[in-house]
Structure 1
Amino acid sequence: MKIAHLVESLDSRGVAAALTDLAEAAPAAGFDVLVVALTPSGHPAVAARLERAGAAPVELNVAPWDPRAVFKVVSALRAHGVDLVHTHGLRPDVVGSAAAVRLRLPAVSTLHHIHTEPADRGDHLRRTAKILARKRFMTRTIATSALQRDWYRQVAGSTAGLSVIPDGAADPGAGTPESAARLRRGLGVDENEVVAVSVAPMRRGKGQDMLLDAVAELAPEEPVTVVLGGDGPLRPWLESRVAGDDALSGRVTFRRAGDPVELLRAADIQLHTTRHDTMPRMLVLGQGTGTPAVATRVGGIPEIVTRDTGALTPVSASRIADELVRMAHDPELRARRGAAARARFLERFESSRWAARLGEVYRSALGYVDAPVAAELDAPEAVAPGGA
């Protein structure tokens, strides 16, 4: 099978980065990946990795509202002999489903967000129209979490044609004492210091302000160094806040990591204190490195972090501080949770398993008689959501 994944761009912070892992795992699951981007991203790293995986991408340079978008996508799909279209995001959903109809191909779409914000009449009508269009034109829909499935059931009235498949990732490999030692040397901390790392994007809703509030509550003698290794529009503000507070500046440091996974491999604890998140890739990768997490109990996070692999807290600076101190003082707890996190990643999130699950959906959408047709494939265990 040749599966075309239609995305907005090859942005290294978007879905295309995960598709590089899928492209590498796909052949063993019985399909090849073609990534088609509507607009160029200026991020050559993703394109280069796709090329190394034998899945050279296509970038179309289609402007927003360009009436030729569907025709350009149709031409690309036809030229590459695509069997099925898999879309990711609002514009790819619209353009990809139209292109699939013209080529008489099945279309699959992954939900990447949960829209729970209050809606006026206009917003409600637009959301309803999107759901109706999805039910009419998409052969199958994929939710990345059970929470997302439940949201979709509320707005669509059923989960017919929907599968729950969490996004996967290539095995990042567990951290080693050598990688931890290198990070400590770079930070100037001794071997008794506990290094807690956050690599979440620095933008609204991701909770770094609340994380700094939590760090400010730590007693001066607590042996914890916090590394903020993400990036984004809020980074200058966060750096300014830390620089202006003696308690924070003595404990918090910023690192511009070319590969955030390197920081996760060297960390004692991963921090992911967001106010909302559907299925954060960095938290999944942290599990793959065998790093126990302190994370907020929101969105799809409880489907990644369990009591065996880390600590889940309410959206509360004080509770985050409490769990961070508890884990910092208990190396045996960190080791036990880290080992469980690594095992959970390999069982649930490793990319070959992700590819195999998607392959089953593709075969079902294409009408193969031996393919499973259940509404949900290997749905994650039920969890009590703590917010969206």
Structure 2
Amino acid sequence: MRVAHVVASLHPDEPENGLVDLARAAPAAGMEMVVVAISTATRSPVAAELHRLGVPVEDLGSAPWDPRAVSRAIEVLRRHRAEIVHTHIGNADVVGGAAGARLRLPVVSTLHRIESQPADVGDRAKRAAKILARRRFVTRTIAISQLQRDWYAGAAADLVVLPNGVTDPGPGDPAERQRLRDRLGAAPGTVLVASVAPMRRGKGQDLLLDAVAALPDSAPVVVVLGGDGPLRPWLEARVDRDDELAARIVFHPSPDRLPLLRAADVMVHATRNDAMPRALVEGLAAGVPAVASTSGGIPEIVTRDTGVLVPLEAGRIAEVVAELAADPDRRERLGAAARRRFLDRFEAGRWARELAAIYTGLLDARPGALTRR
């Protein structure tokens, strides 16, 4: 079946970058994909990887809320002979939903966020437009967590829960792991704690710095802040001003999270609002125990068998990190359980097969459709 995924953009930090994982698993699930980006995507590394995997990427070149994007999307959907339209985030629901409805195609929408933050007049109008589009155009809505499903109940059509999947990274190279640990200053006997959330407001790096300051001097811990973002200069400046923080914290501004997760003994994810953070799923895949907040859909990823859920309190985060640093057997048990949970619930092949089943059900339910075998 041919599925057109309509997205607002293809920015590497946005949830739509999970389409790369889906593209890898789609052929085995009987799906062909095309990705339609409303805003410019030509320089996106996500688009480049989709092209490498043989997935066409169409760039509508439209402003975020340009009404002409609908007619452009209709032309693209016709040209690629799409059978299903699947929309992701924001104006993609409006544009993709309207285009799919015009062509009488089933429309699926995935909810990637919980939009509970304060909003001005413009934000409220956009939210109202997205809710109206889901009610009018969308045939099936996918929530990526149970919490999200409960939050959107009544505002979306035929809600089902299906977490996004991640490609199984497989076992890493122990020699590469050790080389990275050496570069990051994790001497023998040191516990490497990684944070890989984007460095922007609400992702918890400020709280993590407070927790590092509260660690006992005896804890053999080095903390690595991976990735990048608008808050990185502020975080670096704070570390530079504090000798105790500077002795424990290393910045690793690589866009590739997997090598750091493979090198880590523990990951910390102290975000204040996250529907279903991909970084934590990648941590499960790498077999890394997590210390994570209880916000959003995080408790649906991290369980007491795979990590420790903590309140957003620096002292409690420091306490749990110190406990795990002192207990390698517990870290090993949690990491093994994390890997098993990933394979059972979040592996991309499983995600693709369940999506294909949803699509097939919608195609078979159309008036006059022949039952697919």
With normalisation by structure 2, the TM-score equals 0.93
Once residues 62 and 124 of structure 1 are traced to their aligned partners in structure 2, the CA distance between those partners, rounded to angstroms, is 22
Counterpart contact for 2:274–2:298, Cα < 8 Å: yes
The residue number in structure 1 matching 2:103 is: 103
Give 3-state SS (helix, strand or coil) of 2:308's partner: strand
Please give the secondary structure, in 1, of the residue aligned with 2:26. helix
**Residue-by-residue CA offset, 1:131-153 (whole Å, 9 max, x unaligned):** 34312210000000000011012
RCO comparison, higher one (Cα < 8 Å, 6+):
1
Cα offsets for 1:299-327 (capped at 9, x unmatched): 00001000010111011111111110111
- Where does 1:176-195 land on structure 2 (aligned, <5 Å)? 176-195=173-192
Instruction: Report the alpha carbon displacement of residue 46 of structure 1 after superposing the two structures with TM.
Output: 1.6
Native 8 Å contact 1:175 1:290 kept in 2: no
Equivalent position amino acid for 1:114 in 2: I
Q: Are 1:259 and 2:256 matched, yes or no?
A: yes
Amino acid across the alignment from 1:52: R
Pair 1:279-2:267 in alignment: no
Cα distance per residue 1:221-249 (max 9 Å; x no partner): 21000000021100000000000001100
Q: Which residue of 1 aligns with 2:222?
A: 225
SS at match of 1:85: strand
For residues 43 and 182 of structure 1, do their structure 2 counterparts lie closer, same or farther at Cα, with a shift above 3 Å needed?
Answer: farther
Equivalent residue for 1:46? 46
Query: Which piece of structure 1 moves more, 51-60 or 136-145?
Result: 51-60
Per-residue deviation at 1:345?
0.5
Q: Matches of 1:179 and 1:265 in 2, distance apart?
A: 9
TM-fit CA distance, 1:66: 2.6
In the alignment, structure 1 residue 307 sits paired with structure 2 residue 317: no
Report the Cα distance in structure 1 between the residues aligned to 2:120 and 2:163, rounded to whole angstroms: 31
Give 1:375's aligned residue. Answer: none
Structure 1: gaps of 5 or more residues: 372-388
- C-alpha RMSD of the superposition: 2.0
Work out whether residues 7 and 15 of structure 1, in 8 Å CA contact, stay in contact via their aligned partners in 2. no
Q: What SS does the aligned partner of 1:366 have?
A: helix
Per-residue deviation, 1:120:
8.3
Other-structure match for 2:169 = 172
Residue 88 of structure 1: aligned partner: 88
Aligned in 2, Cα 1:102/1:262: closer, same or farther, shift over 3 Å?
same
Partner residue of 1:382?
A: none
- Stretches of 4+ moved more than 2 A in 1? 41-45, 64-67, 115-133, 173-180, 367-371
1:174/1:290 contact within 8 Å kept: no
In structure 2, C-alpha distance between the alignment counterparts of 1:30 and 1:287, rounded to whole Å: 27
Supply the distance in 1 between the matched residues of 2:263 and 2:69 (Cα, whole angstroms): 44
Query: Partner of 1:82: helix, strand, or coil?
Result: coil
Secondary structure in 2 matching 1:250:
helix
Q: Report the secondary structure of 2:360's partner residue.
A: helix
Which residue matches 2:7?
7
Per-residue CA distance 1:252-271 (angstroms, 9 max, x = gap) = 01011141111001110111
Count of residues in Structure 1 that have an aligned counterpart in Structure 2: 368
2:133 alignment counterpart = 133
* Residue 33 of structure 1: aligned partner: 33
Counterpart position of 2:203: 206
Contact map agreement 1:11 1:43 (CA 8 A) in 2: no
In structure 2, give the amino acid aligned to 1:327. L
Letter aligned with residue 62 of structure 2:
V
Residue 122 of structure 1: how far off its partner (Å): 8.8
2:61 equivalent in structure 1: 61
Q: Residue 30 of structure 1: CA displacement?
A: 1.7
What's the offset of the Cα at 1:219? 1.6
User: Aligned in 2, Cα 1:325/1:42: closer, same or farther, shift over 3 Å?
Assistant: farther
8 Å CA contact 1:197, 1:227 repeated in 2: yes
Any conservation in 2 of the 1:279–1:299 contact (CA below 8 Å)? yes
2:322 aligned residue: 325
- Change in Cα spacing, 1:104 to 1:67, as seen in structure 2 (3 Å) is same
Quick one: distance in 2 between partners of 1:43 and 1:323? 41
Task: Report what 1:235 is aligned to.
Answer: 232
Segment drifting more, 8-17 vs 199-208: 8-17
Tell whether the 8 Å contact from 1:308 to 1:340 is kept in structure 2 after alignment.
yes
When residues 249 and 119 of structure 1 are mapped into structure 2, their CA distance, relative to the original with a 3 A threshold, is: closer
Distance 1:119 1:258 in 2: 30
Structure 2 vs 1, CA of residues 111 and 343 (structure 1 numbering), >3 Å: closer, same or farther?
Answer: same
**What code does the residue aligned with 2:176 have?**
S
CA distances 1:271-314 after superposition (whole Å, capped 9, x unpaired): 11111111111110111011111111110000100001011101
Distance in 2 of aligned mates of 1:341 and 1:187: 24
5+ long unaligned stretches in structure 2: none
| CA gap 1:126/1:257 in 2 versus in 1, 3 angstroms | closer
TM-score, normalized by length of structure 1?
Answer: 0.90
1:196 matched to 2:193: yes
Q: Partner of 2:149 in structure 1? A: 149
